[in-house]
Amino acid sequence: MSLDNDHAHVDFPKLARGGVDGAFFALYIPASLDSAAASSHALALLDGVSRCLNDKAVLTVSAMQALENKKAGRFSVFLGLENGSPIGNDLGELARWYDAGVRYMTLCHSADNQICDSCASANKTWHGLSPFGREVVAEMNRLGMLVDVSHVSDETFYDVVGLSTKPVVATHSCCRALANHPRNMTDEMIVRIARTGGVIQINFYPLFLDNGFGSILAESGIMERGEAIESEFIKDPSDPVKRAAWNAVQDELMALPRPSYKRIADHIDHAVSLVGTDHVGLGSDFDGIEVTPSGLEDISMMPVLFDELRYRGYSESDIEKIAGTNFLRVLGA
């Protein structure tokens, strides 16, 4: 994280250049892992994040602490658990992850799990939340851990917003009206998130931003080759051969015609037109996506998006909300 990595979207030098003073680091758990393996994997990722912390980059667990860090010139590292698989069937595991600093949990990822159905599964297991999943949402509400509905099926989404007594978030999703992908939120979903007091955080992945990129990606054939290469890299990112192979795939992807960063602003515009500026934020998914929009290749370039929003008539107050204070408000709630 301290190195300026030319194939990474996020590291501390890039965060500084982009004027970013806080971010969620997602502990991503592949859907292919069973609960025991998922728990071990999540703990290893937690240890990796812990080794990045110092007196200038500190684990942050509340909105108030983040504001204090900003005043003191410290970077706020928040934690999210992306996929509920590591908790197994034990509600007590939620408290343990909360105590470790996790402040949101994405209920599932690219496959159904013990909590709920994924938007990516062809044949749904539960048709929404499982009975255990309903207990999970209630316990997350009790603890103060945000329920993240990115990656869940539509049925799961409506179960969650009907059950949760606290604000619900989509930490990294776009608008389905602008890009028809099951990972994106329909207009009705965006309105329902806002009614809970929550926030939709716009994802930067070109596939979720623009329908046309899906055809470009499919025709390139890169992902068919690249997925196996990426999987091997994730297993051992310190291996220079595996890293070089994955970097080569990244370079191929970045050479494709990609939607502009202005498409992110289009999705922000659409969500704001539905629910106002109090319920929209940014969920880049940097380093969780294989390819970025043109003109916003890494987090150091965030100011170009804010300049685009200014050009479109957003006030500085609006931009502050979208850039982070909306999510901090929800975290505080």
Long-range contacts of 308-312 (CB under 8 A, 24+ apart): 308/261, 308/262, 308/265, 309/265, 309/268, 312/265, 312/269
CATH number at residue 38: 3.20.20.140
Confirm if 314 and 271 have CB atoms less than 8 A apart.
Answer: no
What does residue 132 show for φ and ψ, rounded to 5 degrees?
A: -65, -40
- Structural domain including 45 reads 18-166
Please name the helix (run of DSSP H) or strand (run of DSSP E) that holds residue 143, with its range, or none.
Answer: helix 131-143
Taking residue 70's Cβ as centre, other Cβ atoms within 10 Å add up to 14
CA torsion, points 306, 309, 313, 319, in degrees to nearest 10? -50
Residue 255 lies in a domain: no
Residue 184 lies in a domain: no
Residue 173 lies in a domain: no
DSSP 196-250: TT-EEEE---HHHH-HHHHHHHHHH-HHHHHHHHHHHHHH-TT-HHHHHHHHHHH
Residue 257 lies in a domain: no
In 3D space, the residue among 192, 206, 180, 187 whose CA is nearest the CA of residue 156 turns out to be 192
**Site of tokens 């994106």:** 184
Residue 237: predicted pLDDT: 82
Residue 151 lies in a domain: yes
Residue 176 lies in a domain: no
Give the total number of structural domains in the chain.
1
Residue 231: predicted pLDDT: 83
Residue 91 lies in a domain: yes
Confirm if 25 and 49 have CB atoms less than 8 A apart.
Answer: yes
Residue 7: predicted pLDDT: 87
Confirm if 197 and 165 have CB atoms less than 8 A apart.
Answer: no
Q: Can you name the residues that pair with 58 across neighbouring β-strands?
A: 76
Residue 260 lies in a domain: no
Predicted confidence pLDDT, tens digits, the chain (333 residues)? 567 788 899 999 999 999 999 999 999 999 999 999 999 999 999 999 999 999 999 999 999 999 999 999 999 999 999 999 999 999 999 999 999 999 999 999 999 999 999 999 999 999 999 999 999 999 999 999 999 999 999 999 999 999 999 999 999 999 999 999 999 999 999 999 999 999 999 999 999 999 999 999 999 999 888 888 988 887 888 899 999 998 999 999 999 999 999 999 999 999 999 999 999 999 999 999 989 999 999 999 999 999 999 999 999 999 999 999 999 999 998
